[in-house]
Amino acid sequence: MARVEFSMGALCFILVLAYGTLKCVQGAESIPSLGINWGALASHPINPTIVANMLRDNGIKKVKLFDADSWMVKAFSGMDIEVMVGIPNDQLSKFASSSSDAEDWVKKNVTKHFHKGGVNIRYVSVGNEPFLKSYGSAYVQTTFPAMQNIQKALDKAGHGDIVKVTTALNADVYVSNSNKPSDGDFRDNIRDVMKQILQFLHERNSPFLVNIYPFLSLYQSEGFPEDFAFFDSQSMTISDKNAQYSNVFDANLDTLVWALKKAGYGDLKIVVGEIGWPTDGNKNGNANSAKRFYKGFLKTMASKKGTPMLPGPMDAYLFSLFDEDLKSVAPGNFERHWGIFRYDGKAKFPIDFSGNGEEKWPQEAKGVQYQEHKWCVLSANVKNYSLVPGALDYACAGADCTSLGYGCTCDNLGLAGNASYAFNQFFQARDQSVEACDFSGMGSIVTKDPSNGTCLFPIEIESSGDIVTLTSMRMVTILLIGLSIFFIS
Ligand SMILES: *[C@@H]1O[C@H](CO)[C@@H](O)[C@H](O)[C@H]1NC(C)=O
Ligand SMILES: *[C@@H]1O[C@H](CO)[C@@H](O)[C@H](O)[C@H]1NC(C)=O
Ligand SMILES: *[C@@H]1O[C@H](CO)[C@@H](O)[C@H](O)[C@H]1NC(C)=O
Ligand SMILES: CC(=O)N[C@H]1CO[C@H](CO)[C@@H](O)[C@@H]1O
């Protein structure tokens, strides 16, 4: 492998000598233990083949999915990329109560890809943050039995040694009453089930998967010292036992290490399932902060120094690959803007996946097709604005307007600008259908790009494959909503 790379590099060098300006595109190097999350809650997901090639171009060898959608999984066939598939929370009760459903799932979603030239599936995350505080006890009873049934089904199918079962947990499963890592322990209401899960992970040699978000520490508490969310500052430190913490990530991860020690599983392997920084939808979410955060995190990862309680190399999956315009904004408007890349696979900021901290742009998605060069805006003929707010609200109820808020990329557009932005979002999400730019005659289709400064008026991409069914599902939903409004009124 290394020999091939060397000779490619040498060939490239000779070609540069000969032709000067020739651009040698080599497969980029990334930190070997680095992965990335790919969620597809988007109105126009990028074609999976394009995504798989993009990961390869960036040298990223691990990907984490939230489902086992074969449209996405299949794209990694025959590639040197390790895949983690997921089982959504709403399916946990099914698999907890039925081992035959679990066996069926394994057959259709795992065994199917196990052949020569197939997909290198290595993990199944059973549930996604099922013990999140805001879910109450919704999945507390079902998560562990579902994990057991999926494991049994994998064993029965002969994949038990290759495919590990785990569950992605949010860092809110543990707490520290003093804010010192050494006081870390699991939350009271889940301590018993956590013990069962820890014993299971230990027996099966599976990792503990934890999602840690320094951004949320900053977002959730007014007085949180901003620098402490990043990796490049010493402006604040926490002392604990013999350790000094200068960033919240290290302190948070070590809180988990202490909680595991207390439970008797201090040697369990920990993998960071999600870590990242959003770029819009909140005053602290912007490309500069994201760039700073990833630079610090990737450099730390490449240094293999780990944390005071967990020295050594670390495995982590960045969150996330792309923006997702259909994600729930219940946690906050930033939810749709976690992408390192935009909705169309264009990079938002320089990021060096090798962890060398160089100012370089990543490899972007290649071969993405856009819809026509047109936008929907508030017509210049509208002089009486009394009906504009109503139309704006309607558009934002059916499309993503999370860039309009305070401190976001499109704040300060004024009422007419807000309306134009919202009309365009609505129009693009509906594949530029003429009817979607009506707004009681106030909408107007234009061919000049209305983007203004940091505020991008996007053109959606062409999206194919399973999205056809997704689109028709959306149409049914829209129809049903329309009908219910009709019957209510
Ligand atoms: C603006 O339109 C509204 C609703 O159609 C109407 O009630 C109002 O009189 C109009 N205002 C002006 C200044 O024309
Ligand atoms: C761009 O936005 C500014 C406000 O931020 C506004 O004054 C200006 O008219 C806008 N330009 C265009 C071309 O819409
Ligand atoms: C534009 O929309 C944003 C977000 O809803 C809002 O904060 C702002 O006040 C709006 N501007 C105007 C002039 O209506
Ligand atoms: C989302 C997806 O493609 N998953 C498949 C996993 O297996 C079930 C059957 O148990 C299929 O219905 C899904 O299509």
How high is the pLDDT of residue 353?
A: 98
pLDDT band at 470 (very low <50, low <70, confident <90, very high): very low
pLDDT band at 347 (very low <50, low <70, confident <90, very high): very high
Whole-number Å distance between alpha carbons of 444 and 434: 9
Helix axes 191-204, 248-263, angle to 10 degrees: 90
Whole-number Å distance between alpha carbons of 251 and 237: 10
95 CB less than 6 Å from ligand 4?
no
Give the right CATH number for 31-337 from 3.30.300.30, 3.20.20.80, 3.20.10.10, 3.40.50.300: 3.20.20.80
Model pLDDT for residues 295-306, shown as the tens digit of each residue = 999 999 999 999
pLDDT band at 179 (very low <50, low <70, confident <90, very high): confident
Enclosing H/E stretch for 452: none
Calculate the average pLDDT of the chain: 91
Whole-number Å distance between alpha carbons of 129 and 169: 4
Q: Quick one: average pLDDT of 142-161? A: 98
Handedness of CA 171, 175, 176, 179 (dihedral sign): positive
Ligand found nearest the CA of 413? 2
Domain range summary for the chain, segments of one domain joined by +:
1-29, 31-337, 375-460, 463-489
How high is the pLDDT of residue 24?
A: 45
Comparing 470 with 240, which gets the higher pLDDT?
Answer: 240
274 is catalytic: yes
How high is the pLDDT of residue 1?
A: 35
**Under 8 Å between Cβ of 369 and 462:** yes
Residue from 218, 361, 221 nearest 289 by CA? 218
Q: Quick one: average pLDDT of 149-170? A: 98
Cα 71 to its chain centre, rounded Å, is 18
Q: Quick one: average pLDDT of 355-361? A: 97
455 CB less than 6 Å from ligand 3?
no
5, 29, 203, 274: the active-site residue: 274
Position in ligand 1 atom list of the atom nearest CA 384: 1
Phi/psi at 265 (nearest 5 deg)?
-125, 45
Is the predicted pLDDT of residue 453 greater than 80, yes or no? Answer: yes
Comparing 82 with 486, which gets the higher pLDDT?
Answer: 82
How high is the pLDDT of residue 27?
A: 62
Is the predicted pLDDT of residue 255 greater than 60, yes or no? Answer: yes
Model pLDDT for residues 183-235, shown as the tens digit of each residue = 999 999 999 999 999 999 999 999 999 999 999 999 999 899 999 999 998 88
The Cα-based distances of 486 to 9, 393, 430, 479, 481 in angstroms read 65, 19, 21, 10, 8
Whole-number Å distance between alpha carbons of 92 and 145: 9
Model pLDDT for residues 384-401, shown as the tens digit of each residue = 999 999 999 999 999 999
Residue type, 466: D
3-state secondary structure of 306: coil
Nearest CA to ligand 2 atom 14: 452
The CB density around residue 428, as the number of other CB atoms within 10 Å, is 26
* 472-480 CB contacts, 8 Å cutoff, 24+ apart: 474/43, 478/398
Residue from 340, 379, 378, 344 nearest 459 by CA? 344
Token couple for 1:
């492998």
Share of the chain above pLDDT 70, in %: 89
82 is catalytic: no
Share of the chain above pLDDT 90, in %: 88
**Under 8 Å between Cβ of 39 and 85:** no
Is the predicted pLDDT of residue 22 greater than 60, yes or no? Answer: no
386 CB less than 6 Å from ligand 1?
yes
The Cα-based distances of 227 to 8, 218, 224, 230, 362 in angstroms read 42, 10, 9, 5, 25
Is the predicted pLDDT of residue 335 greater than 50, yes or no? Answer: yes
